[in-house]
Amino acid sequence: MLFNSLSFAVFLPIVCLLFWLVPQRKRWIVLLLSSYYFYMSWNVKYVVLILFTTVVSYVTAILIEKAEKKKAKLILALAAVVASLSVLFVFKYFNFAFATLVRVCNMISIPLQPFTLQLMLPVGISFYTFQTLSYVLDVYYGKVAAEKHFGKYATFISFFPQLVAGPIERTDHLLTQINQKEYKFRYDNASYGLKLMAWGFFKKLVIADNLAVYVDQIFEDVHYYHGFCMVLAILFFTLQIYCDFSGYSDIAIGCARLFDVELMTNFKSPYFSNSIREFWTRWHISLSTWFRDYVYIPLGGNRVSKFRNCVNVMVTFLVSGLWHGAAFTYVIWGGIHGLLQIMERFFLGKKKMPKLVVFLLVAFAWTFFRAQSLSDAVYVLVHMFDGIGQSGYLSSVMDIFDLNVFGIVCLLIPIVLLFVYDYVALKVDPIVIISKQKPVIRWVIYYVFVLFVLLFASFSAQEFVYFQF
């Protein structure tokens, strides 16, 4: 069930109505049942996986808390980690790992027959797996107490607004809210949530899905193109993935507010960063902080020598790249970000880079993220400036993308609005500012916004990019 689908437009009001009609003590049940229904709408069979991960982490956490010896606690924590990651490995990484092994064996003249598991990647598996892992590790480190109520814990893991693409929530934030004794309906809170959802839909339907048409055209057959259309495809994807993923996060956060639940902020105007390091404090914040807390810091963080710290940074980003997908393109993308951060520390220190430079470096890295293979990524980067300086370098794009002046305007206006919104958001919340305007001004803005969405949105119900991770 996609957020941008008719079925969700019917599902959400029904769940919201039931939630506020039932007694306080039963509201978690509405959230749990609706969350499992939401997940089963993708594939009924794979509900077993999320249930398995939930049960294993729930039981293990309780046993860890009861165990008296540190060694026993460690063994239990490792068992939970291995169990959860094993499921993730089988469904997401087995084919990639085995294909890599076959390739290496063939290089050293060891015959090994290829083998592929015919399994569909369960939607959201990377997200809810990391959420259960953080819970178990937090219990192991003594940061939180093990949750004894299985139903409420299962609700924490499966909460449908953030189930399939985050934010990856922590125990002390989301589970605490699910355990609250009283949910309160607040008009201002619900109103803000709906407005944030509207902005998320704008980014997804008006910007991301329209840009995806041109991005897919180039990256699905890169060898057919060259020149400026490739530059434009990279820049378009840079905006597409941001609007697609941050749009999902906005919808998820706004949707949660309808149930008096506050999810963590996942994006903070990342393309206005002055360094790659700052970019990762603004992009996919729930994931970057997860890797910081459970990979980077346990490796030693910055409490070690400079060389060891560089290794820690690189390992963290290589693993982050692999988390995104079972392909070397994602690993290289992560490696580029790790390398850029290391270079910043050695050559810039605390100095800032121009925002445009950071944006272009991030866009360069996105080439590997979007390309279907390493050879495709290299081809794009090698041939993107073919014909530069010639009269047809720019004008040919109009024909390749079948664009006219009206089409360009339809693309540019939403993008300009996006950057204006993000620039304002660096200091104040644009939604709050608009909400404080006089009724006439406020409703004019709302009507123009809705009209703009109706005129330029793509209503083909395209999946969100991060569903594949």
Instruction: Please list, in sequence order, all residues whose beta carbon lies within 8 angstroms of the beta carbon of residue 240, skipping any fewer than 6 positions away.
Output: 207, 208, 211, 212, 215, 465
pLDDT at 422: 94
Token pair of 244, please?
A: 């697609």
What mean pLDDT is predicted for residues 22-28?
Answer: 91
Q: What percent of the chain has pLDDT over 90?
A: 63
Does residue 356 or residue 411 have the better pLDDT?
356
pLDDT at 55: 95
Token pair of 54, please?
A: 């939930």
Token pair of 182, please?
A: 């009283």
pLDDT at 284: 94
Per DSSP, 463 falls in state P
pLDDT at 109: 75
pLDDT in tens, 262-304: 999 999 999 999 999 999 999 999 999 999 999 999 999 888 8
What mean pLDDT is predicted for residues 375-395?
Answer: 81
What mean pLDDT is predicted for residues 316-344?
Answer: 93
Q: Is 210 exposed, middle or buried (0-12, 13-18, 19+ CB in 10 A)?
A: buried
pLDDT in tens, 70-98: 999 999 999 999 999 999 999 888 888 88
| Confidence at 37, pLDDT banded by 50, 70, 90 | very high
What mean pLDDT is predicted for residues 411-440?
Answer: 91
Q: Is 45 exposed, middle or buried (0-12, 13-18, 19+ CB in 10 A)?
A: exposed
Average pLDDT of the chain is 89
| Confidence at 449, pLDDT banded by 50, 70, 90 | confident
Q: Which amino acid is at 65?
A: E
What mean pLDDT is predicted for residues 203-227?
Answer: 90
Measure the CA–CA gap between 248 and 289, rounded to whole angstroms: 19
What mean pLDDT is predicted for residues 348-362?
Answer: 91
Minimum mean pLDDT range among 170-184, 200-214, 383-397, 437-451 = 383-397
Give whole-number Cα distances, 274 to 99, 281, 283, 358, 372, in Å. Answer: 39, 11, 13, 6, 29
Token pair of 434, please?
A: 């608009």
pLDDT at 42: 82
What mean pLDDT is predicted for residues 456-466?
Answer: 74
Would you say residue 390 has pLDDT above 80? no
pLDDT at 113: 77
Would you say residue 469 has pLDDT above 70? no
pLDDT in tens, 124-164: 899 999 999 999 999 999 999 999 999 999 999 999 999 98
8 A C-beta contact, residue 426 and residue 191: no
Examine the residue annotation and report whether 324 is marked as an active-site residue of this protein: yes
Does residue 182 or residue 353 have the better pLDDT?
353
Give whole-number Cα distances, 11 to 2, 183, 251, 263, in Å. Answer: 11, 20, 14, 20
Would you say residue 355 has pLDDT above 90? yes
pLDDT in tens, 221-260: 888 888 888 999 999 999 999 999 999 999 999 999 999 9
Task: Please pick, among 149, 173, 226, 324, the residue that the annotation labels catalytic.
Answer: 324
pLDDT at 395: 65
pLDDT at 320: 94
Measure the CA–CA gap between 51 and 46, rounded to whole angstroms: 9
pLDDT at 280: 95
| Confidence at 354, pLDDT banded by 50, 70, 90 | very high
pLDDT in tens, 358-380: 999 999 999 999 999 999 999 99
8 A C-beta contact, residue 300 and residue 312: yes
Measure the CA–CA gap between 422 and 406, rounded to whole angstroms: 25
| Confidence at 177, pLDDT banded by 50, 70, 90 | very high
Measure the CA–CA gap between 464 and 249, rounded to whole angstroms: 11
Q: Write out the DSSP string of 155-196.
A: HHHH-GGGTTT-----IIIIIHHHT-S-----HHHHHHHHHH
Measure the CA–CA gap between 267 and 284, rounded to whole angstroms: 6
Alpha helical stretches, state H, 67-91:
70-88
- Sequence spans of domains, the chain: 6-181, 189-274+354-468
